[in-house]
Amino acid sequence: MHDTTRSGTPDMQASILHHLHYTVGKDAGHATVYDWRMALSHAIRDRIVDVWFSSTNRAYAAGAKRVYYLSMEFLIGRLLEDGLVNLRMLDAACEALDRFGLDPVAVIADEPDAALGNGGLGRLAACFLESMSSLGVPAHGYGIRYEHGLFQQRIVEGRQAELPETWLQEPHAWEFERPETRYRIGFGGQARDGAWEPGEAVIAAAYDTPVVGWNGVWANTLRLWSARSVRGFDLDSFNRGDFVGAAAPEETARTISRVLYPNDTTDIGKELRLKQEYFFTAASLSDILRRFEAEHGDLAKLPAKVAIQLNDTHPAIAGPELVRLLHDERGMGFEEAVATARATLGYTNHTLLPEALERWSEGLFGRLLPRHLELIDRIDQAHRAAYPGSSVRIHDAGTVNMGELSFVMAHKVNGVSALHTELMKKSVFAELNRLHPDRIVSQTNGVTPRRWLLSCNPRLAGLITARIGEGWVADLERLSELESHVDDPTFLESYAEAKQANKVDLANWIGARHGIALDPAMMFDVQIKRLHEYKRQHLNILEAVALWQAMRADPKADWTPRVKIFAGKAAPGYFFAKDIIRLINDVAEVVNADPLTRERLKVVFLPNYNVSLAERLIPASDLSEQISTAGKEASGTGNMKFALNGAPTIGTLDGANVEIREHVGAENFFLFGMTAEEAEARRKLPGHAQRAIAADPRLAAAIEAVRAGVFSPEEPGRYAHVADNIANHDYFLVASDFTDYWRAQREVDAVYRDRDAWTRMAAFNTVRSGWFSSDRTIRGYLKDIWGAAPLI
């Protein structure tokens, strides 16, 4: 699969040794795994840089329209293997390392994940960047260079413990600092006569990472901003003996780019969050305008040459900031500046949860961004004047509404699945959709097949290539050519062998890393995503409790052995979600030690979920848990990765689950639960949870076990509030959906016992998942939103 035509092994060996000596400063006899990994990374980076420069020059020569993707998160994972695969040098690199007496797997795995995101938002952004490079679309990603990411998760006595990520304690081999590209970003101060005089400022310093696409034909740029002090080190304070004060300006400035999503349960946390959002958005817009003016000059051409996409509401300040840059600083008339900004900006909505559409208090917003508040009021007034009688308010009742601002200042607003888009029209943006009926469009998410099949699952990728050739890597919909092979017993046998080998690898890794022995013959039932009530990890663990109780009550029954695997982080201030993590671990401690059931049921929580862990888990998974409350998940991309890698879904009709079920076939999907409309109606019925509990003895017994302290005997009341939440405040309908979830899980058990039927179902999930490629998604954005085109 990975040919070596671009660089043979001898050339690769020479490149690695060159960088080991002259970049890392080591000789082969004293080099560590880290040294070899850095040498290999620089050898590969050299080749990517050549592609990068060529791509940039071609974009300038063509005068092409550029796409700029603004996102608070870019979960790019490890870049070494990504580069090796897309340059098609993996075989050459592995052979070279082998000749040096090294374990290629250990060297490549030595790279830490870049701590630049948390969940699906960041993984989507990373897939989009890779797809734009694979398609040859001139593009930049813009974000923040977080020193410590979200946090490193450890589990201590069952509880989530948060430690700083340390990925930048060692040099990041893939980035280039750009000292010549720095912008002064202001905060506070006063707005007078259409001008802003900030009271404080920091410097945004640029760091560039090239992102290479498939076949090494094109590379784009991920530019990340790091906050620096305007003043730097205060020598006068130092000489007066105030050593802490001397460093304070730099430390204060760096706070902005230290941590992803600072805890915003405090006022100071909210202020930092807003500063972060303005910091990276303002720096990015200044950079975009600098590049545009140097190349084109005429600001009237901005929408024709620039497409800026806002990934969620985090960069929503882009609307008024772009107006400020055009109107205040460049003299464009206000109405023209608003029209120009709107024609340039697109907004991707990722949530139907009203609380997730950011809202800032007027006091905080006006104190930090006084001129922007004035501009927002003008934008708001102009919109209301254009649509008399509308109740839409961007600034209202002491609150600045960033969802409404994003919508009003974008020429297109897209949902990320068909269902999400339709629900968005009917719920969070119902009136805005009525006022602007052509503005909302749908762009169902996708994932890059290079990372999420070719790279992470080489066994399955090799089987696919052996049957239909390698064209599927660049055109994932060619997987449909495998339809006829699903009835071939030899193909199914090879498919099952690939899955089983992946499961053995995962079981060995979990045993070695976490000391938990797993039988690869058990069903690997996996739910990996951030912890949130709407994602319903508590429904999953409640079903595990009920299953454990049923097994104990009838130990001689023909139970299907399964291990329930969880992974994901809870926000530091989200205490209920953190209690769910603790409950999962407490249930695991009891269930895994039970001699009556432990050979047929185990529960595992794997700490510090990240891209690299996902790459281990997804190829080895038998069952994909996509069990969010219908109407709450915008899309999901994990669901696509699981299906692509042959894990049938148990799920609700929520987000992209709807489209996955349509594509893979209803017979290859385990459906349960209420629809979004039924869920909305159920919430309105008083006592709906109590009635559901009373109607299902299994559910009642499972909740009672949680309430009574069966899994926390040293503290019997530990989970009483969890039980009470389900029984009395069940907004996310855990109780109402439990009975049907149990039914679907027993259907899963029955099919899994028929190994041929299960393998066929899994194979159909792979074969029919070709539509869920981020390449297809990007082509949709190009056509429907950006008005741009590839250059290859």
Does the annotation count 535 as an active-site position?
yes
Question: How long is the chain?
Answer: 792
Compute the distance between CA of residue 77 and CA of residue 80 in angstroms, rounded to an integer.
Answer: 9
Question: What pTM, to 2 d.p., does this model score?
Answer: 0.96
Looking at residue 3, what is its pLDDT?
44
Which residue from 302, 301, 319, 300 is spatially nearest to 310, judged by alpha carbons? Answer: 319
Pairing of β 176-187 and β 200-212: antiparallel
Does the annotation count 602 as an active-site position?
no
Compute the distance between CA of residue 715 and CA of residue 708 in angstroms, rounded to an integer.
Answer: 10
Does the annotation count 564 as an active-site position?
no
Q: What is the mean pLDDT of residues 607-632?
A: 97
2, 503, 529, 538: which is the annotated catalytic residue? 529
530, 562, 569, 632: which is the annotated catalytic residue? 530
Q: Where are the beta strands (DSSP E) in 322-438?
A: 345-348, 359-361, 395-396, 399-401, 412-415
The H or E element that residue 206 is part of is strand 200-212
Does the annotation count 350 as an active-site position?
yes
Rounded to 10 degrees, the C-alpha dihedral 133/134/138/144 comes to -20
Does the annotation count 641 as an active-site position?
yes
Pairing of β 152-156 and β 159-163: antiparallel
6 has a pLDDT exceeding 60? no
42, 535, 602, 768: which is the annotated catalytic residue? 535
Share of the chain above pLDDT 90, in %: 94
> Which amino acid, 604?
V
Compute the distance between CA of residue 4 and CA of residue 264 in angstroms, rounded to an integer.
Answer: 49
**pLDDT tens digits, residue range 336-387?**
999 999 999 999 999 988 877 899 999 999 999 999 999 999 999 999 999 9
Give every CB contact of residue 416 below 8 A, 6+ residues apart in sequence.
124, 348, 349, 350, 442, 443, 444, 445, 634, 635, 655, 656
**Intra-chain end-to-end CA distance of the chain, in Å:** 23
pLDDT bracket for residue 46 (50, 70, 90): very high
Mean of all residue pLDDT scores within the chain:
96
**pLDDT tens digits, residue range 737-754?**
999 999 999 999 999 999
637, 759, 766, 777: which is the annotated catalytic residue? 637
3-class secondary structure, 572: coil
Compute the distance between CA of residue 509 and CA of residue 506 in angstroms, rounded to an integer.
Answer: 5
Give every CB contact of residue 371 below 8 A, 6+ residues apart in sequence.
191, 195, 196, 324, 328
Q: What is the mean pLDDT of residues 150-175?
A: 96
H helices within 63-181, ranges in order? Answer: 80-87, 90-99, 104-109, 120-135
Compute the distance between CA of residue 293 and CA of residue 171 in angstroms, rounded to an integer.
Answer: 34
**pLDDT tens digits, residue range 63-88?**
999 999 999 999 999 999 999 999 99
148, 172, 342, 350: which is the annotated catalytic residue? 350
Tokens 């489209």 belong to: 659
Looking at residue 2, what is its pLDDT?
41
Q: Where are the beta strands (DSSP E) in 483-626?
A: 523-528, 562-567, 601-606, 623-626
Alpha carbon distances (Å) from 757 to 163, 268, 328, 559, 564: 45, 56, 66, 18, 21
Looking at residue 237, what is its pLDDT?
79
Q: Which DSSP state fits 155?
A: E
342, 420, 641, 768: which is the annotated catalytic residue? 641
Looking at residue 235, what is its pLDDT?
75
Does the annotation count 529 as an active-site position?
yes
**Sheet containing strand 562-567, strands side by side:** 601-606, 562-567, 523-528, 623-626, 649-651, 670-671
